[in-house]
Structure 1
Amino acid sequence: MEAKQAFRDIKQGNIAPLYICYGTESYLMNEFTNRLVETLSEPEHREMAVIRFDTGETPIDVIIEEAETLPFLVPTKIILVRDSVLFASGKESARIEHRPERLLSYMAQPSETTVLVFLVPHEKLDERKKLVKTAKANHGVITFAPLQAGELQQWLFNRASRQGRTLEQQAAEELLRRAGTDMNALAAETDKLCLHAGAQGTITADAVESLVPMATEQNVFRLTEELAALRTEQAITLYYDLLKQREEPIKLMALLVRQFRNMLHVKELGSQGYSPQQMAGQLGLHPYAVKVTADQARKFSQERLAALLSELADLDYAMKTGRVEKTLGLELFLLKTASAGAS
């Protein structure tokens, strides 16, 4: 089941006794559990209604025993279990012994007064396990994958709209460019912009530029764009700005290496016919990041990207061994790269 359907089910009051939530989009997973808690319990009773466990610290026998115990002073008990062992391929702790058959028995006849939710922060479940096969066949298995670029923008529009504000298209694009794809950061920045816009106000691109600082990784995206466009002055100015923000040259170089490497991988996968969604899965990137990276990669040849990575590897060694002063070394690399261009 996709996250959107799970949210619709909660809204319609269709709540299952057992959920296995997995995926890398932690914000949506947390939002799902928050909606469950809000729907099933009153604010003043939530301390008694919500119980949290971690399979890295608590045996499944103890968790199931709690699930089978009648709730105290509340109609429904919500048990949230963080798990990397039972449903994923995480390594079990030597001091914690789990009996999966105990959970299998519970899954066959779950308690009517408990909603048991397993939160698995992994991209995939371990399909070899009987627990996973049984859950997929009979229970609510929900995937929380990163939103596509268009979905992420629509989510921003909806968040602003729920607060009585209008988010312009260009403002949404600028917000993503500045804050990146982390939904926790985007939510906080959107709420801040809504406050600034006022009741029934409109959030403009100018407001985003004024109020939302550029995240370091997003500045590295900009830096590669300036290098590809031969805008030497802008690239060096951006580098100086990052230094003023106390960013370490070695950290910036590592981010540049990662971005150039991702660009090279995107070009290689694109030549093999991979879709952006498939690339995101292969590279462990957000789909929006793949889109931005692909746009940048078009400005570089594969040979040029490979050469830049080789130069950065040499520079990394020289900086870490003291042969080159860090700040000056990276500045000289940027000057040379911007002058040479992307070809």
Structure 2
Amino acid sequence: MYRRFLNDADYLGVITAEALAQMTRGNADRFAQAEESAEMSIIENLSENYEIEQELNKGKYIAEHDRRITFPVGAFIYLEGRIYEVIRSISGYKVPSTLAYWEEHVELNFDIGNTARYSQFGTYYVGDIVAHNGVAYICKEENGYKFGDIRIPMVEGWFEAATTEWLPIEYNLWEVVSFNGAFYTLMKLDEFDNNINPFDSLCWGAIADYDPAYNDYELEEHEYVVYDGRVFYPGLDVNADMPIVGHNIAQNDPRNYNIKKHMVRLAIYELTKLIAPNNVSAVRLKDHEESMKWLNDASKLRLNPQIPRKLAEDNKPVTDWQLSTFQTDYDPYKNPWLT
């Protein structure tokens, strides 16, 4: 699937929302088609001398805010169609676990430097090895973004609570029992009668199933939930942090302005061609010609596109030309061309 560098709002600086809707006819796939064509033109012109792929990736890998994901400081996210920079870490919610998904990988002479880093957007299968915080881990159970089950190595937010079958005996406050396939905890001792089963007693409270949509779990040892037939309580803050402008996010766009500007122009030209290839407006033709000229000038180093240059083996910027000299002496008082 093609990852877009642009978003729909980028076009509104050049064209109205109504005109853009007429071009796409409600088909969002047309954006990807046009932008992919525009991107190829940019790469063809700039890939020889510039790190254009890295600059494009800055926009392609901006993720939508997802409550399952923990975003570190410096990451960029989409929220309500706008791009924000994370200025304080945003934690995702943590799901109870009944399985050991990861195990520290111990192997003699193992080179962790060549091991892929763990990513919350990755999908992992049994036997996959990743590096996380300088430690190698091996996958013991399938997990990952595509499975809808993100498990960061060695991060456990919930602890399992001890449970017993209900019997007509004395119980302490907040003890957990199972009765007729459900779990209950003793919530109060006033008027407690150990001969009344938890279902009929007002002193016992039924424990609800874990709900990832609920975001107000308290950090208490008796904040019980049921997950996969077992009872858990939080050992740390298991709720997802909410993104708040000025608190943990700030509006910022990491994408190169020149690339964004010219990709929009080229993409609109491609969208126009999809509708009426023989009737492209003069404005779109002019914008397309100017952008292609800019790309050509940038490729020949006639202007500075504000994109990092590619480096050669000597750590100097690569060039598409070389100068040979046949000088035999560099003494300024001698003729350097005499042999």
Is the shorter-chain TM-score for this pair beyond 0.5, marking a shared fold? no
TM tier, smaller: under 0.3
Task: Between the two structures, name the one with larger relative contact order (CA 8 Å, sep ≥ 6).
Answer: 2
Choose between structure 1 and 2: higher strand proportion: 2
* TM-score, structure 1 normalization: 0.24
Structure possessing the higher radius of gyration over alpha carbons: 2
